[in-house]
Structure 1
């Protein structure tokens, strides 16, 4: 191969692509262990593990293309978005994995984290107090009891690959585990509200839209400062800050 592509890199981990092989470098071995375990248990297409030599995990690329990315235009038919919803429902209906995931934090823990983060956002001047306060109130609906499901925990639109209307692979399982199913639905549709109905049509069950809207606010509030501190731009058009403004 004549090129090594840096897919993502920050102080916690990095992912490199060499041809059809992805190399994930992560100093947190528990995170790599959780990813490998989740991919082995998930009833949906996932990358194949080629080898592991801590701190590196080598996996195959998956075929197909994503439906877009946060901050960019969304692609794909309504049927493609519905297919993603159906795959997500299949995951959520699977037997529970042994570990709690990112989507499995308790309401008490989330409340404490959210209140702390909102205080930091205002104190630093990163976001205006009114924007933070309104979204903090909107986020309250997500802080409720939920039935544990097998969740991906970081189901960004860029992590689901399709070929036409068929899901060919879901990547990046390091945050997977037992958690709130609506967190996954909210993460996948973050910034692409116009496709929420299609995803729910494929998901095939009643969904509390107020909770999904609340997760959009909650997830964005928790992400803005971390993204800004790790070289990403949450203020880019269509990204987290625009999501918070849209909730106004």
Structure 2
């Protein structure tokens, strides 16, 4: 499995943006090609992009299993594992854009941020047991983060959520958001999940994001989602060739709770 993140690509070269056994994204010049054999997932992404009241990438064409998207202007807010160099104004703009998304009419489809509390609790119990059994993390770190994560396991008001709002998915230019990528997990869910995912490993940028968001949030729930998302992600990342132990990534996030 090959993973390679790029910001530009010569027109005569194929660049791998991200790839694993489920899907891949390639870049050729100013065109991104998403290759995904799960057409239900692509259908959901296209539908969410049509509904979202925020900038998204322009769809150029679609021929299963490929979806072609135009490159977004600007640059991503950052990359997981590397401190964001985007300005406070850019983060503030991202917050305002997310507020617009979260207050839009709620889709009928549950998204990645919309799993029920019972489902999340069961997944969390399974993953915590696996992390300890396979000595991926010390039991004390898992126990502490499991306790922190409990604050996210509560009823939440349904919102239109992106569902997988990684920092590399939000593009800005100057003081405006030019687009948000990868909507396959979008749907009804917990708005605080989006805020937490965007600031995972970028905790110092949360005040700028919330300044633009303009609505009070429960910081304990944001911290809970940092722990919960990281605990749930580690095994998947290892199984798909990613390294959650890279500086600033999921294992560092979990250790930071200690």
* Structure 1 position 237 matched with structure 2 position 247: yes
1:73 is displaced (CA, Å) by 2.0
Asked if 1:67 is matched to 2:81, the reply is no
Between 45-54 and 211-220, the greater mean CA deviation after superposition: 45-54
- Give the Å deviation of 1:18: 0.7
SS at match of 1:105: coil
Give matches, 1:1-248, under 5 Å.
1-248=11-258
Q: Distance in 1 between matches of 2:79 and 2:109?
A: 28
SS at match of 1:103: coil
Q: Displacement of 1:96 after TM fit? A: 1.0
Indicate the RMSD between aligned Cα atoms, in angstroms.
Answer: 0.7
Structure 2 unaligned spans of 5+: 1-10
Secondary structure of residue in 1 paired with 2:178: strand
Q: Aligned partners of 1:150, 1:72: CA distance in 2, in Å? A: 28
User: Residues of 1 paired with 2:137 and 2:21: CA distance?
Assistant: 24
TM-score, length of structure 1 as denominator length: 0.98
Distance in structure 2 (CA, Å) of the matches to 1:120 and 1:76: 36
Could you tell me how far 1:44 is from its partner in structure 2?
0.6
1:114 CA displacement: 0.5
SS in 1 for 2:255: helix
SS of the equivalent of 2:113 reads helix
The size of the alignment, in residue pairs, is 248
The alignment's TM-score, normalised by the length of structure 2, stands at: 0.95
What whole-Å deviation, never above 9, does each CA across 1:144-169 have from its counterpart, x for those lacking one?
00000000001011000000110001
SS in structure 2 opposite 1:104? Answer: coil
Deviations 1:50-72 (A, max 9, x none): 11111111111110011211101
Q: Which runs of 4 or more aligned residues in structure 1 lie more than 6 Å from their structure 2 counterparts after TM superposition?
A: none
How many angstroms apart in 1 are the aligned matches of 2:77 and 2:189?
Answer: 24
Cα distance in structure 1, aligned partners of 2:177 and 2:46: 20
Cα displacement string for residues 99-133 of structure 1 (whole angstroms, at most 9, x for unaligned residues): 11000000000000000011111111111111111
